[in-house]
Amino acid sequence: MHTAEAIVETLEELGVERVFGYPGGRVIELFDHLPDSEVDLVRPRDEREASVMAEVHGRLTGQPGVLSGQGPWIGSLGLIGQMEASLASSPMVVLTEASERGDYSTLAPYQQARGDYGGLSLPKVLDGVTKEHWFPRTPTETLRSVQLAFKHAVAGRPGPTAVVLDGNAVVEAFPEESTPPVWDAREQTRTWQSRPTAEDVAAAVEVLENAERPVIIAGNGVHASGSGPKVPLAAGGSTAGDAASGGSSERRSDGVHAAQAYDELAAVAEAYDAAVVTSYLGKSTFPETDARAAGVIGSFGHEGANQVVSEADALLVVGCRLNPMDTNWQSPSFIRPDEQTIIHADIDTRNAGWVYPADVGLIGDAAETLSDLAAAGRREPTGWAAERAAEARESFSAPECESDASPILPQRAVKEIEAVVDEDTLVTADSGNNRFWLLNYLQTPAVRTYFGSGGVGGMGWANPAAVSAAMATEKDVLAVAGDGGFAMTMTAVETAVEYGVAPTFVVLNDTSLGMVRQMQGEEGDIAGVEFHDTDFVRVAEGFGAEGIRVDDPDALGDALSDGKAADHPVVVDVRIDREQDMAATLSSSFYDEVGGLHE
Residue of 515, 556, 560, 574 interacting with ligand TPP (CB under 6 A) = 515
Pick left, alpha or beta for residue 15 (phi over 0 → left; psi -120 to 50 → alpha; otherwise beta).
Answer: left
d(CA 397, CA 448): 21
Of 437, 469, 438, nearest in space to 582 by CA: 437
CB of 517 to ligand TPP, least distance (A): 7
| Count of helices and strands (H, E) across the chain | 24, 18
Residue of 189, 431, 444, 449 interacting with ligand TPP (CB under 6 A) = 431
Give the binding range for ligand TPP (CB under 6 A) out of 50-58, 87-95, 463-471, 514-522.
514-522
Residue 434 near ligand TPP by CB under 6 A:
yes
- Binding flags for Mg ion, 512-541, as an x/- string (CB under 5 A): --x---------------------------
- Contact yes or no for 385/218 (Cβ under 8 A): no
Q: Which does 75 bind (CB under 5 to 8 A by kind): ligand TPP, Mg ion, none?
A: none
- Contact yes or no for 21/50 (Cβ under 8 A): yes
CB of 430 to ligand TPP, least distance (A): 6
Give the binding range for Mg ion (CB under 5 A) out of 166-174, 176-184, 258-266, 510-518.
510-518
SS3 71: helix
Residue 459 near ligand TPP by CB under 6 A:
yes
Q: What angle do CA 511, 516, 519 make, to 5 degrees?
A: 120
Residues numbered 471-490 forming contacts with Mg ion, rule: CB under 5 A: 482-484
Per-position b or e across 146-184, b if 16+ CB within 10 A of its CB: bbbbbbbbbbebbbbbbbbbbbebbeeebeeeeeeebee
CB of 48 to Mg ion, least distance (A): 19
Q: Which amino acid belongs to residue 517?
A: R
Residue 430 near Mg ion by CB under 5 A:
no
Q: Which is nearer to ligand TPP, 169 or 490 (CB)?
A: 490
Residue 460 near Mg ion by CB under 5 A:
no
Q: Which is nearer to ligand TPP, 225 or 434 (CB)?
A: 434
Q: Which is nearer to Mg ion, 347 or 540 (CB)?
A: 540
Q: Which does 457 bind (CB under 5 to 8 A by kind): Mg ion, ligand TPP, none?
A: ligand TPP
- Contact yes or no for 129/83 (Cβ under 8 A): yes
Strand 132-134 versus strand 160-165 pairing type: parallel
**Cβ-based burial of 378 (10 A; exposed 0-12, middle 13-18, buried ≥19):** middle
Phi and psi at residue 70, to the nearest 5°: -75, 140
Give the binding range for ligand TPP (CB under 6 A) out of 105-113, 266-274, 305-313, 507-515.
507-515
C-beta nearest to Mg ion: residue: 482
Specify the DSSP class assigned to residue 179.
S
Residues that bind Mg ion (CB under 5 A): 482-484, 510, 514
Residues that bind ligand TPP (CB under 6 A): 431-434, 457-460, 482-485, 508, 510, 512-516
